[in-house]
Amino acid sequence: MPGYSLKYSRRAARTAFLAFFLLIVNRAFADNSKISPDLQPLLGNPSNQINVIVQYNTPPQQSSGGLLGGLLGGVVNLLGGVLNTVFSLIPAVSATLHPADVLAVSNQSNVTYISLDRQLGASLDYTAAAVGASSAWTYGLEGDGIGVAVIDSGVYHHPDLNAANSSKSRIVYRQSFIGGVLNDDFGHGTHVAGIVAGNGSSSDQLGAFRTFKGIAPHANILDLRVLDQNGASNDSVVIAAIEKAVQLKNQYNVRVINLSLGRPIFEGCSQDPLCQGWKRPGRAESWWWWPPAMKGATDMRPFCRPARRRTPSP
């Protein structure tokens, strides 16, 4: 038995050394310019399972067998990676890969960038007063017939989100991308929806000292839930929700997408997958975005202007 244990230990050691050697070789020949700076430190542990977003220079295709066709399909299939989502909004997929997989995929000619599927959280720094919403109300501009996609933690039923003098809700569509028991386990999305489209009916009562009215009090709300009960999410989930908002545009006249979310920035907008997802709808038609989609990495100030109108590129 001692001889067998020693033989087994030597074999395990050789296997571990080989795996480590292959990882070092892959890192030596990997194109690090295609790997995000916050992902690179995680590649040192060959046993890591890393959630990433892989971007391509052309839209990836999904085969009938469920694996991605082309070069990525071979790598994921052979090295044990898991394909999670194939995006239609941007030429990208989300996947769970080992470090060796990440390094091998980075060398493929059709891959432009690989980044972490980063965590993000809720944020909101602006209100109706800050944008001068009351000036628009004087002209009768209160959001009638407009759909606003609130990509957040969900939206509870609330009387301020009903039609005027009615019990009919203006929440016209709901979808959760992360599961959950309640419509809003975290509470942030309902707060945001009130700022976007609350009609102030609950605070417009006898004895009330102030009416809390939203920016577009007649607008309809599309509840696209991406934040969990702790207010956390990932890039891939948010991109999927943006895709859904675009798909529902004509059905609900969606003209506004609200992203009260934030995380640090690790690369330029041309490489950041969430920034690409944010930009994509504006390449087709005009959109309004409110408020900033992400925050700066150093001073944490928004780098996307609030309520910026997206117009077709020339």
CATH number, position 27: 3.30.70.80
Residues 83 and 207 in one domain: no
Residues 177 and 76 in one domain: no
2: pLDDT confidence band, cut at 50, 70 and 90? low
Position 78 pLDDT exceeds 90? no
Contact indicator for 218, 143 with CB cutoff of 8 Å? yes
Same domain, 173 and 185: yes
In this predicted model, which residue has the larger pLDDT, 154 or 263? 154
pLDDT for 66 beyond 90 = no
Q: What is the pLDDT of residue 74?
A: 38
Average pLDDT, the chain: 77
**3-state DSSP call for residue 236?**
helix
Same domain, 140 and 100: no
Q: Give the model's confidence band at 38: pLDDT under 50 very low, under 70 low, under 90 confident, else very high.
A: very high
Query: Which of 267, 199, 255, 180 has its CA nearest to residue 222?
Result: 255
Same domain, yes or no: 108 and 128: no
The tens digit of pLDDT for each residue in 92-108 reads 999 999 999 899 888 88
Q: Which CA distances in Å does 86 have to 8, 109, 273?
A: 42, 19, 13
**87 and 196 part of one domain:** no
Is 186 in the same domain as 237? yes
Going by DSSP bridges, is the β-strand pair 119-122/232-234 parallel, antiparallel, or unpaired?
antiparallel
* Highest mean predicted confidence (pLDDT) among 60-69, 100-109, 198-207: 100-109
Give the residue carrying structure tokens 């066709």: 69
Task: Give the lowest-confidence range in 71-85, 153-167, 294-308.
Answer: 294-308
Q: Domain end: 117, 133, 152, which one?
A: 117
Q: Which pLDDT tens digit goes with each residue over 220-268? A: 999 999 999 999 999 999 999 999 999 999 999 999 999 888 888 888 8
Q: What CATH number has the domain bearing residue 237?
A: 3.40.50.200
pLDDT band at 287 (very low <50, low <70, confident <90, very high): low
Taking residues 105-128, report their average pLDDT: 80
Residue 30 has a pLDDT of 58
User: Which of the 8 DSSP states describes residue 40?
Assistant: G
Range of the domain at 55: 2-117
Q: Tell me, yes or no, whether 35 and 170 share the same domain.
A: no
- Domain match, 58 and 180 both: no
pLDDT number for residue 94: 93
- Examine the domain organization and report whether 198 and 185 are in the same domain: yes
Per-residue model confidence (pLDDT) at position 203: 82
Residues 202 and 198: their CA atoms lie apart, in Å, by 9
Rounded to an integer, the average pLDDT of 83-93 is 89
List the structure tokens of 147: 């759909």
Shared domain check, 285 and 184: yes
Whole-model pTM: value is 0.71
Question: Alpha-carbon dihedral of residues 62, 64, 69, 72, nearest 10 degrees?
Answer: 80
Which of 71, 94, 117 represents a domain boundary (last residue)? Answer: 117
Q: What pLDDT was estimated at residue 299?
A: 28
What band does 158 get if pLDDT is binned at 50, 70 and 90?
very high
Q: How many independent structural domains does the chain possess?
A: 2
Strands (E), 14-103: 50-56, 82-86, 92-97
pLDDT of residue 62 exceeding 70: no
Per-residue confidence band for 209, with pLDDT thresholds at 50, 70 and 90: confident
Based on the fold, state whether residues 92 and 165 are members of the same structural domain: no
Q: Which of 66, 89, 117 is the last residue of a domain?
A: 117
Contact present, 220 and 170 (Cβ < 8 Å): yes
